[in-house]
Amino acid sequence: MESIISIEELAFEYLDGNLVLKDVSLDIAKGSYVALLGANGSGKSTLARHVNGILVPKSGRVQVAGMDTQDDAKKMEIRKLVGMVFQHPDNQIVATTVEDDVAFGLENFNVAPKVIEERVTWALRETGLSAVRKRPPHLLSGGQKQRLAIAGALAMQQQVLVLDEATSMLDAKGRDDVLQMVRHLHQNGTTIITVTHHMEEVLEADQVVVLNQGMVVMTGTPREIFRNSRRLRQLNLDVPAIAQVSAKLHEVLPAVSADAITPEELMTDLAALSTRPNHGKAASNTDLCDDDPTANDEIIQMQDVSHVYLQGTPLEHHALRRADLTLRSGEALAIVGATGSGKSTVMQHLNGIYRPQRGTVWAVDVDLGSPHANIAKVRQEIGMLFQNPEDQLFEQLVGDDVAYGPLQMRMDLKEVRRRVRWALEMVGLDFDTFKDRPVFALSGGEKRRAALAGVLALRPKVLVLDEPTAGLDPRSASDLLDRLRHLKKEEDVSIVFVTHNIEEVLNLADRVIIMHDGQTKGTYSIEQIMDGPSLLLDHGFEAPPILVLQQMLREQGFGSVFGRTPDEVSDMILQSLGLASPKDADVLAEEGL
């Protein structure tokens, strides 16, 4: 195949002596679909920015259709060929209306006004934005903004499209739409390069490139890459849940291929096994139910709450129509729902940021509807972490930021120091290393943890967390979940959290609330969800493959497989086959063996 992008021994540094890319060589064929994987900070965005000459190599060479990106005379040619969409849609929208923004790139290339008009109309139709054509961008939802950013690139009809986490703000449905669009472009001959943490997107690609600390460490088809699940996990990367199960089964049962990445494939392998499941011996189901029957006192109760934003202005918006929520002491409650369904609005009612316009909210024995409510008590006992909390660190030094809450309460400085130490250690940041560290010198994951420490420093009884793991790489995300589980267990903190990821719900929550279009559509226990994924399907969610697999297994006679995580599931499959699971190398190491 003719290559359209060729990268030879590329090295790059932002600051002297700190190589972010080291010796990257890569050939991308015309018309191919490449997924770029890697942990936070591995250099994916930096590499992507070399493809259209925004960044130029310190050493080595990048060529686009035979043109060197270092050649200033070719710069416009290259940009005409390569389009780019970035992660934060808000930071790439330039104009004050949707259509003007789509036209921006075309104007730069001196396209005639008539042609611009046609292309804009076409791109808006493709992205489903025709109806909001004249609207200012700040009145779009997150998903619409992301589609607008994509429309801007689409309108240019370039040969290469680079998507740098361009779907990170979308829910499952929105992501599907975009995937469809990209697939369509690819079929029409566009070369696609996509940077993503989402496995469904990686599976679309025909070539996967894995970066680690600025180096290409693996390349191959998605299947070849996922087979190496242990290596991927060492690189802080996610592996599709099914691939994790099949890899683990493969170690004990070589007849099960380590390649399976869909429930169907794994089922075919399992069905062909000579050993049959042991129907009689049901695995104990008790470890699933950490629902403590004594923990029944309600710590937050919300009834029939509705909320209208910007009441009495032309922008009035009925965001919440009816919300009911109960949080019991010591439990973890998940809230799931499409973007814009009102999840964040509900969360902000829980510690009195918004007071109920209608309905009632009782939190830690305070009636938040009363104008004389003791808000200070509520704010202290219910700690809240907002969406994208890394943008909300407002002091210059980590220590000062974590101390903000206790200082507002006029606590003695010694006590403040003790609290800060405790909070930082709780989130896994060393007190002495981090207390005097400037906030800008933290990585994304560290910022997220520092923000959580700032909330913990008030010693809340309840934690309210709005999408705490969004944007983190899989390793940092699971580390955060582990710490939350620890807080819940050891410090008896109750947790309410929002997530788009059902696997996280299974991992941490005791109960889950489903939201749709400004309404809460009921509360379910995790056991109910695990019993039948159809519950999720009814509410417009995709059932996570790990649940689909378990349902298939049960239909096939593996009666006792009820697991929340891939590890639990593979152990249970082995158990029901009468086999013992191998101990993970990591676990062995931890146990000092």
Partner 1 sequence: MKLTTRKIVITAVLAAISILLGVTRLGYIPVPNVAGNATIMGVPVYIGAVLEGWPVGLILGFIFGLSSFLGATVPMFKDPIVSILPRLLIGITPYLAYIAVRKKNEILAYGLAGLVGSVSNTVFVVGAIILRGYFTFHQMLVVIPQAIAEAILSVILTVAVCAAWNRVQIGSGRSKISNVTD
Partner 2 sequence: MAEDFELLRYITIGQYLPGESIVHRLDPAVKLLSAIIVILTVAFLNAYLPNITAFVLILGLVALSGVPIGYGLSGLRPAIWFIFALLILELLFSPVKGVVLWSYSFLHISQYSLRLTVTSLLRLIDFILLISVFTLTTRTNDVTRAMERVSKPLQYLKIPTRELALIMTIALRFVPTFAMEMERLMKAQASRGGGLTKVAKWNIVAQARARLPLVIPLFLIALRRAEDLVVAMESRGYVPNQKRTMYREYHLAVRDWVALAVVVVVSAGLILI
Ligand X SMILES: Nc1ncnc2c1ncn2[C@@H]1O[C@H](COP(=O)(O)OP(=O)(O)OP(=O)(O)O)[C@@H](O)[C@H]1O
Residues at the contact surface with ligand X, assessed by CB under 6 A: 14-15, 20, 38, 40-46, 141-142, 309-310, 317, 319, 337, 339-345, 387, 444
Q: Which residues bind Mg ion (CB under 5 A)?
A: 45, 344
Q: Minimum CB separation from partner 2 for residue 229, in Å?
A: 34
In whole angstroms, give the CA distance from residue 163 to residue 169. Answer: 13
Give the residue carrying structure tokens 């006792």: 560
Q: Work out whether 539 is an interface residue with partner 2 (CB under 8 A).
A: no
In whole angstroms, give the CA distance from residue 465 to residue 389. Answer: 10
Q: Work out whether 46 is an interface residue with partner 2 (CB under 8 A).
A: no
Q: Which residues bind partner 1 (CB under 8 A)?
A: 395-400, 403, 407, 413-414, 416-418, 420-421, 435-436, 438, 440
HEC states along 505-541?
Answer: HHHHCCEEEEEECCEEEEEEEHHHHHHCCHHHHHCCC
Tokens of 303: 């009834």
In sequence order, what are the beta bridge partners of 194?
A: 35, 163
Question: 559 contacts which partner out of partner 2, ligand X, partner 1, none, CB within 5 to 8 A by kind?
Answer: none
Q: Minimum CB separation from ligand X for residue 83, in Å?
A: 18
In sequence order, what are the beta bridge partners of 498?
A: 335, 466
In whole angstroms, give the CA distance from residue 453 to residue 421. Answer: 9
Q: Work out whether 461 is an interface residue with partner 2 (CB under 8 A).
A: no
Helix (H, G, I), strand (E, B) or coil at 62: strand
Which of 15, 17, 73, 113 is in the footprint of partner 2 by CB under 8 A? 113
Q: Minimum CB separation from partner 2 for residue 409, in Å?
A: 6
Question: 343 contacts which partner out of partner 2, ligand X, partner 1, none, CB within 5 to 8 A by kind?
Answer: ligand X
Residue 360: C-alpha distances to residues 177, 327, 351, 512, 520 (Å): 38, 14, 13, 21, 15
Q: Site map for partner 2, 351-370, x if CB under 8 A?
A: x-xxx---------------
Q: Work out whether 117 is an interface residue with partner 2 (CB under 8 A).
A: yes
Cα 6–10–15 angle (5° rounding)?
145
Q: Minimum CB separation from partner 2 for residue 447, in Å?
A: 12
Q: What is the DSSP letter of 83?
A: E
In whole angstroms, give the CA distance from residue 201 to residue 176. Answer: 9
Q: Minimum CB separation from partner 1 for residue 283, in Å?
A: 48
Q: Minimum CB separation from partner 2 for residue 112, in Å?
A: 7
In whole angstroms, give the CA distance from residue 238 to residue 127. Answer: 29
Question: 338 contacts which partner out of Mg ion, partner 1, partner 2, none, CB within 5 to 8 A by kind?
Answer: none
Question: 131 contacts which partner out of partner 1, ligand X, partner 2, none, CB within 5 to 8 A by kind?
Answer: none
| Burial profile 443-477: b = 16 or more Cβ within 10 angstroms, e = fewer | eebbbbbbbbbbbbbbbbbbbbbbbbbbbbbbbbb
Which of 15, 73, 110, 188 is in the footprint of partner 2 by CB under 8 A? 110
Which of 122, 404, 422, 431 is in the footprint of partner 2 by CB under 8 A? 404
Q: Minimum CB separation from ligand X for residue 541, in Å?
A: 13
Question: 282 contacts which partner out of ligand X, partner 1, partner 2, none, CB within 5 to 8 A by kind?
Answer: none
Tokens of 465: 């967390």
Q: Minimum CB separation from Mg ion for residue 164, in Å?
A: 6
Nearer Cβ to partner 2, position 240 or 389? 389
Which of 409, 470, 577, 579 is in the footprint of partner 2 by CB under 8 A? 409
Which has the closest alpha carbon to 425: 457, 396, 393? 457
Nearer Cβ to ligand X, position 317 or 377? 317
Question: 337 contacts which partner out of partner 2, ligand X, Mg ion, none, CB within 5 to 8 A by kind?
Answer: ligand X
Nearer Cβ to partner 2, position 421 or 564? 421
Q: Minimum CB separation from partner 2 for residue 115, in Å?
A: 9
For residue 411, count CB atoms less than 10 angstroms from its CB and return exposed for 0-12, middle for 13-18, buried for 19 or more.
Answer: middle
Which has the closest alpha carbon to 8: 49, 93, 69? 69
Nearer Cβ to partner 1, position 399 or 544? 399
Q: Work out whether 392 is an interface residue with partner 2 (CB under 8 A).
A: yes
| Helices (H), ranges, 368-473 | 375-381, 398-408, 413-426, 431-434, 444-456
Q: Minimum CB separation from partner 1 for residue 197, in Å?
A: 28
| Binders in 74-103 for partner 2, by CB under 8 A | 76, 79-80, 83-84, 86, 88, 90-97, 99-100, 103
Number of Cα atoms under 13 Å in the Cβ half of residue 479: 16
Question: 417 contacts which partner out of ligand X, Mg ion, partner 1, none, CB within 5 to 8 A by kind?
Answer: partner 1
Helix (H, G, I), strand (E, B) or coil at 397: strand
| Helices (H), ranges, 317-390 | 343-347, 375-381
Which has the closest alpha carbon to 416: 401, 432, 395, 434? 401
Question: 420 contacts which partner out of partner 1, Mg ion, partner 2, none, CB within 5 to 8 A by kind?
Answer: partner 1
Question: 344 contacts which partner out of partner 1, Mg ion, partner 2, none, CB within 5 to 8 A by kind?
Answer: Mg ion
In whole angstroms, give the CA distance from residue 166 to residue 181. Answer: 13
Which of 15, 66, 134, 188 is in the footprint of partner 2 by CB under 8 A? 134
Nearer Cβ to partner 1, position 122 or 404? 404
Give the Cβ contact number of residue 434 at 10 Å.
Answer: 22
| Binders in 152-181 for partner 2, by CB under 8 A | 152-153, 156
Q: Work out whether 327 is an interface residue with partner 2 (CB under 8 A).
A: no
Q: Minimum CB separation from ligand X for residue 178, in Å?
A: 15
Which of 131, 255, 376, 441 is in the footprint of partner 2 by CB under 8 A? 376
Q: Minimum CB separation from ligand X for residue 40, in Å?
A: 4
Nearer Cβ to ligand X, position 12 or 524? 12
In whole angstroms, give the CA distance from residue 423 to residue 4. Answer: 51
Q: Minimum CB separation from ligand X for residue 4, in Å?
A: 22
